[in-house]
Amino acid sequence: MHKVYLRPIALADSPQSEEGEAVRLAGGLTYASRFALIERREGKMVRRKRLSANDLNDLPDDAQVQLEDLRKAHPPLRCGDRTIRLDQPQVMGILNVTPDSFSDGGRFLDDPDVANAHAAAMLEAGAAIIDVGGESTRPGAAAVWEGDELKRVVPAVERLAASGAAISVDTRRPAVMEAALAAGAHVINDVSALRHDPRSLEFAARSGAPVVLMHAPGEGEDLHGSTGYPDVVLDVFDWLAARRDAAIAAGIARDRIVLDPGIGFGKSIGENLALINALPLFHALGQPLLLGVSRKRLIGALANEAPAHQRLGGSLTLALKGLDAGVQILRVHDVAETVQALRVWRGLRDAALTDFAQLPV
């Protein structure tokens, strides 16, 4: 099978810094000035050609579609009465109501007051969405009985809904999706990309809720299983394209699909880093992107095995890499620090757009 890919390989702070020779990615604040046109046959790269922004007028049909998707501006996500704009980056705060989270260690499961205070602090710090999860998906975590997941998730969602928050539910099970949406959640965030249960696609389509589809190579309970990647970047790209198409075929509106490359799921440290470096390519899928790298194992591996609660510096570094790549949603534990980094990043971008305004004509 022959496939082509149009990968942005040089980013610019503003279009005027490239004298207009730049493509705005996904209607956001990131611009690409050079691209690689990649051809792959039977899973192997056979050709790579470097192009400038002015060389994009005579592309193969598939690459032309990808160029249009790279340029595609995304409408806001509707979360009840709240509107989450996607023309600028947003922060999703993590609320784990599990006993065995790799990061929180069950802190928010047994004491609703502590969980409420943490969620309120994340919202006050600038989180646009709170992501509630009742099952740990770290490597080696035990499977959770559906009834236990419901008992953990639904009360947390009800409390958040009473505060007027935009809420996503991090689950693989349609019964939990249904109960959480009924309790006031707005977004389905499924780390199995609606594969874990054959009923999930149908329910998600019927619900009309926005969905986040994440790449995870494993099947069943083991999402981390992997048989290796001939090219992790292009393989994950193709996999997400297939899940996007399956969701659309099932009746999920395209403007309600968000994609996540699944950093840390069934990938080596090198493969995770390759994906992060290639994030701009994933705009060619034509969907908003979510990046979840907060406190993940790869940070510890690169930083003297720092434990999860000491990975803030690495988390912010990867978050800023995502912002530079034009990612629309950052899923994080440390909301206040990430929002501060985002605001400074945004200030730099806004300044870059006016840097040339005072130059003489």
Overall average pLDDT of the 337-347 stretch: 98
Per-residue pLDDT at 113:
81
Per-residue pLDDT at 130:
98
| Residue 135 CB contacts under 8 Å (≥ 6 apart), including other chains | 98, 141, 143, 144, 149, 170, 171, 172
Overall average pLDDT of the 164-189 stretch: 97
Could you report the per-residue pLDDT of 123-133, keeping only the tens digit for each? 999 999 999 99
Domains of the chain: 2-70 (no CATH), 77-349 (3.20.20.20)
Q: Which residues pair with 92 in a beta bridge?
A: 129, 331
Per-residue pLDDT at 227:
67
Overall average pLDDT of the 308-318 stretch: 97
pLDDT band with cut points at 50, 70 and 90 for residue 356: low
Q: What is the largest CA-CA distance in the chain?
A: 68
Overall average pLDDT of the 340-359 stretch: 86
One of 172, 173, 243, 331 is an active-site residue; which one? Answer: 331
Half-sphere exposure of 22 (CA within 13 A, CB side): 23
In the chain, % of residues over pLDDT 70: 93
Per-residue pLDDT at 188:
98
In the chain, % of residues over pLDDT 90: 84
Q: Mean pLDDT, the chain, as a whole number?
A: 92
Per-residue pLDDT at 141:
63
Q: Which residues pair with 84 in a beta bridge?
A: 77
Could you report the per-residue pLDDT of 106-125, keeping only the tens digit for each? 555 556 788 889 999 999 99
Q: Any catalytic annotation for residue 331?
A: yes
Per-residue pLDDT at 140:
60
Per-residue pLDDT at 101:
53
One of 173, 296, 311, 349 is an active-site residue; which one? Answer: 296
Q: Which tokens is 248 given?
A: 């659309």
Beta carbons within 10 angstroms of residue 269's beta carbon:
14
